């Protein structure tokens, strides 16, 4: 893919949605006579500064300034392996479908390099987070990786508040957020933005926690002191604290979101119980060195319980979820689930339903 053949990203003002134009030097301007809206610093636009989400942003800028990304630089081989490291990541990747030629909007991506792998799969990525500090750190990791030379023309980095997207209507094929949605305090606004920027037939895919009564009980009892200790030590944003206290998403909540925003094909796929419990607990207790022994054990228990009683399908904590936007040529709306599996957890997409 050559730089000339890429469609340039069309930006709009994140709150008013007026069209923005690039002036000489890269700054974004609005109206006539042109009024400067956003400077370009190292080709990164700070749209989040225009939306007033200052509390959360200060929190995350501080988090990322104190905790730079671990283990850069990255290679294509490392990234491909990372996606195979646990069942929830495998499910998330599989749920994205074919990425060749797709424009993927990464929301709340922090400093995670894992998603650079989508470039190797043929995608064009718009990498975003609320925190400008995270964006610059992620961009530096990318520039020092062996992906920069091959895919540098297919990725851009911008600070974006997921509740106020600065992208034109129907401009992306896939909206992606890992461990993001439970941080947002207005899901109605978020999904109206997701529906706006997705092309007809485009999809959104997220990874968060599913509501799991057993996990909630553990958090409220034996894990409570540990949780309070880590919150004090590492800090937690108010939105994240609310989400932790409430527990993860339920299927009815997600189906309601689909109905409210005219989405189809609800995906609700749970995985991991003991593995999740063991990883979280061990990391919080500072026992990383135990993981090589504990992880295979927990994976074994998860696999056996799943096989004999479908345990993780009912109690799994990790949740891969999402929807498809209507193509505009479909029949009456209704929340559709896959009817081919016994537990109704999987949704299979036919690729011609996706956007081109
Ligand atoms: C738990 S981190 C996950 C980061 C990354 N997705 C990952 O998997 O490593 C949550 C991220 O959401 C971002 N975030 C929180 N509120 C946001 C918002 N309103 N818009 C965009 N990003 C947001 C934070 O800056 C943070 O990087």
Q: Which atom of ligand 1 is nearest to the CA of 162?
A: 20
Atom 16 of ligand 1: nearest residue by CA position? 183
Checking if the pLDDT of 44 tops 80, the result is yes
Q: Of all residues in the chain, what percent carry a pLDDT higher than 90?
A: 54
Q: 117 with 146: CB under 8 angstroms? A: no
225 domain residue, yes or no: no
Atom 17 of ligand 1: nearest residue by CA position? 130
Checking if the pLDDT of 210 tops 60, the result is yes
Segment 113-137 mean pLDDT: 96
DSSP secondary structure letters along 32-46: TTTEEEE-EETTEEE
Checking if the pLDDT of 177 tops 60, the result is yes
81 domain residue, yes or no: yes
Is pLDDT larger for residue 263 or for residue 346?
263
- Ligand 1 center to 13 CA (angstroms): 21
- Ligand 1 center to 119 CA (angstroms): 20
Q: How many domains does the chain have?
A: 1
59 domain residue, yes or no: yes
Domain encompassing residue 333: 43-212+248-272+316-353
pLDDT tier for residue 108 given thresholds of 50, 70 and 90: very high
- Ligand 1 center to 133 CA (angstroms): 12
Atom 14 of ligand 1: nearest residue by CA position? 108
Return the residue matching tokens 């498809």.
324
285 domain residue, yes or no: no
Q: Considering the entire predicted model, what is its pTM?
A: 0.88
Atom 5 of ligand 1: nearest residue by CA position? 109
CB atoms within 10 A of CB 295: 17
- Ligand 1 center to 246 CA (angstroms): 18
- Ligand 1 center to 130 CA (angstroms): 7
For residues 71 and 216, give the distance between their C-alpha atoms in angstroms, rounded to a whole number: 33
- Quick one: pLDDT at residue 109? 98
For residues 219 and 204, give the distance between their C-alpha atoms in angstroms, rounded to a whole number: 29
189 domain residue, yes or no: yes
Least confident of 77-81, 239-243, 352-356: 352-356
- Ligand 1 center to 36 CA (angstroms): 27
Segment 305-323 mean pLDDT: 88
Q: Which atom of ligand 1 is nearest to the CA of 131?
A: 25
Atom 13 of ligand 1: nearest residue by CA position? 108
pLDDT tier for residue 6 given thresholds of 50, 70 and 90: low
Segment 73-83 mean pLDDT: 90
pLDDT tier for residue 333 given thresholds of 50, 70 and 90: low
Return the residue matching tokens 């009024």.
35
Token pair in block for residue 288: 């990383």
For residues 97 and 349, give the distance between their C-alpha atoms in angstroms, rounded to a whole number: 8
Phi/psi at 150 (5° precision)? -80, -35
Checking if the pLDDT of 341 tops 50, the result is no
Segment 80-94 mean pLDDT: 92
Checking if the pLDDT of 204 tops 70, the result is yes
Token pair in block for residue 157: 């980095």
177 domain residue, yes or no: yes
Q: Going by DSSP bridges, is the β-strand pair 198-209/263-271 parallel, antiparallel, or unpaired?
A: unpaired
Atom 9 of ligand 1: nearest residue by CA position? 112
Question: What residues line ligand 1, using a CB cutoff of 6 Å?
Answer: 53, 56, 60, 107-110, 112, 129-131, 134, 161-163, 178-180, 183-184
Atom 27 of ligand 1: nearest residue by CA position? 110
Segment 166-188 mean pLDDT: 96
Least confident of 77-91, 140-154, 207-221, 278-292: 278-292
327 domain residue, yes or no: yes
292 domain residue, yes or no: no
pLDDT tier for residue 118 given thresholds of 50, 70 and 90: very high
CATH number at residue 206: 3.40.50.150
Q: Dump pLDDT digits (tens) for 255-300.
A: 999 999 999 999 999 988 888 888 877 776 777 788 888 888 988 8
- Quick one: pLDDT at residue 342? 35
Token pair in block for residue 149: 């030379």
For residues 214 and 222, give the distance between their C-alpha atoms in angstroms, rounded to a whole number: 12
pLDDT tier for residue 337 given thresholds of 50, 70 and 90: low
- Quick one: pLDDT at residue 347? 38
How much is the mean pLDDT over the chain? 86
Token pair in block for residue 326: 């209507």
Checking if the pLDDT of 7 tops 80, the result is no
Q: Dump pLDDT digits (tens) for 136-168.
A: 999 999 999 989 999 999 999 999 999 999 999
Atom 8 of ligand 1: nearest residue by CA position? 178
């Amino acid at each position: 893919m050559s730089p000339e053949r890429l469609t340039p990203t069309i930006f709009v003002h994140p709150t008013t949605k007026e069209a923005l134009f690039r002036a000489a030097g890269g700054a974004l301007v609005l109206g006539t006579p042109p009024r400067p809206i956003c400077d370009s610093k190292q080709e990164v636009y700070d749209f989040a500064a225009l939306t007033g989400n200052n509390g959360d942003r200060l929190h995350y800028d501080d988090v990322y300034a104190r905790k730079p990304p671990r283990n850069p630089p990255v290679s294509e081989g490392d990234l491909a392996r990372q996606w195979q490291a646990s069942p929830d990541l495998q499910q998330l990747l599989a749920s994205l479908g074919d990425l060749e030629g797709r424009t993927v909007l990464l929301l709340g991506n922090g400093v995670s390099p894992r998603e650079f792998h989508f470039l190797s799969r043929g995608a064009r990525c718009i990498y975003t987070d609320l925190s400008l500090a995270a964006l610059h750190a992620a961009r530096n990791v990318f520039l020092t990786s062996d992906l920069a030379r091959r895919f540098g023309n297919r990725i851009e980095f911008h600070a974006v508040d997921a509740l106020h997207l600065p992208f034109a209507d129907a401009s992306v094929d896939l909206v992606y957020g890992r461990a993001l949605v439970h941080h947002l305090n207005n899901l109605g606004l978020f999904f109206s933005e997701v529906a706006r920027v997705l092309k007809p037939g485009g999809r959104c895919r997220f990874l968060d926690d599913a509501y799991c009564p057993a996990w909630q009980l553990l958090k409220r009892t034996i894990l409570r002191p540990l949780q309070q200790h880590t919150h004090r030590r590492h800090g937690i944003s108010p939105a994240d604290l609310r989400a932790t206290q409430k527990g993860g998403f339920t299927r009815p909540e997600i189906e309601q979101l689909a109905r409210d925003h005219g989405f189809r094909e609800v995906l609700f796929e749970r995985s991991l119980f003991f593995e999740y419990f063991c990883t979280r607990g061990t990391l919080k207790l500072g026992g990383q060195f135990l993981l090589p022994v504990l992880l295979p054990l927990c994976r074994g228990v998860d696999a056996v319980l799943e096989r004999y009683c479908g345990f993780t399908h009912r109690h799994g904590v990790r949740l891969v979820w999402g929807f498809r936007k209507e193509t505009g040529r479909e029949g009456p709306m209704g929340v559709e689930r896959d009817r081919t599996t016994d537990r109704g957890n999987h949704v299979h997409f036919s690729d011609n339903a996706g956007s081109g």
